[in-house]
A and B are shown apart, each in its own frame.
Chain A
């Protein structure tokens, strides 16, 4: 089981993340024989077949990938109004698409940013922009290939919950949130050190 950290504590996950099915005929790109895990900015996330084939649970709180929400938003409007829907943004999806899809991003109780692999650092910029430019105030969750070694950076980039990858130690991850006492530069949580303290 993967564990969820909210703030600095292990927490019960109230949300079910909806994952579109894989049919095996999705386009795959390779470099030097290895499957490329990174999608480029603006690339499609799912095929139409995947979007059509996604089963959406009839009740409970659900985290929906942005393209799934966009394809089903009329049908799900009342659940959205009831606060039962959060959105999952993938790192290659333009943040503008998310912002344009909602009159007020703060109507979303949760935005989750998904990274397929650790080395994808776009989630840091997305988190930062959601907090500083788009004024998002609710739960910002990091999901996907998340382990303790990104957590300090994620926290500074505006995330306040972390879905730790299965098989990883959540206690260690919590400890790593305090790896550094006085970082140098500004981020969503603070101004540069020279504006913070007298040196």
Chain B
């Protein structure tokens, strides 16, 4: 979208600055001025912009319009569950009784907030089939870090010090090996078999007294429900290891199966994926950890406890913050991303059991619909029933000189966000598509048509696809140059 004058976004804030302009005028001082400190402690120049309020509003509004977003476009983006974010969730999180409370205020003055957290802990426990929950972790990757530290603490508490190897499937998200490494473990790769399941033979070889456990994403990043999952858990447990579940793909399983029932010992859940907190251009999220009774003492602090013996009229607060007895410790500044947790509570409370189940139903239905509609054009490296997402390969198109990246970029011209590309790493030219439950059949049909049209273009006019996108605010950007000579901030023009 084009806009002129000071509404154009071409100039950065510092270059729009005009001496004396202010966006906000602070109130006058209402106490007698106090003695100022030593001049040497005070800063001289403060390079911040000088712009008026209308300029700020125009600049940021125009910037916003250069984004794709869930409210404006369809995101067929695998493993990220870009679903619709109900507006009521945002609204309640902004209530002054939530947004305006202090994390250190006395528990007597924040019982409502603690009750929401306590109930959310219960909800997540019931959904995951695991009795204990900590909400303190601020994102999925932080949930993973807390989880692997818990696995470490658990083994240590049993005097089982020789466990150093974490087995992680070759299809896993990068955060899994990275988190395991931050917890001091050596990462060993667990291969997938030809059907996309964990290779049981390889697992048997790895399972031993030096194995911490495994980190499994279910359904896997191939969009597949691992047919061997119960056996995987059994083998790992028999070797004395623990099974960690990456909950990134929980959208497929809501109300359909509880990971705790399958044998998982602990999982994290991504509230900004499954439970619909808006993605915010890259956060905030939240990554609560749910675990078995055996691991509960090691959960990150704090957790919220309820005084079950409290009687009516009793003055003592019903809900409190507590530290589990052998906790891995504090992992965030306060009690977790409360504003996100309120949204997730609202979402689950609104849907109830039947609503949650209809989410997984529609998410899986939509993904399978896409799979069937496109399988004659795009290769299916794992040709079997998919769950909430389907992974295609653009190998056929690649032979014609049009890569998966090109196809994805061309989709931007059709008004769709790109699928996840080149992931999982074990699929050539991967195009990973997760439609979520939010999309109508009309949208899915139009999207299918777009992918068919692009395939046709790749035969008739490959350059059109290779040079896409053509209609976006900028075309393909020179990422190599950006990395070679990093320009990471505004600097004063000479």
A and B assemble together: no
Q: Which residues of B contact A (CB under 8 A)?
A: none
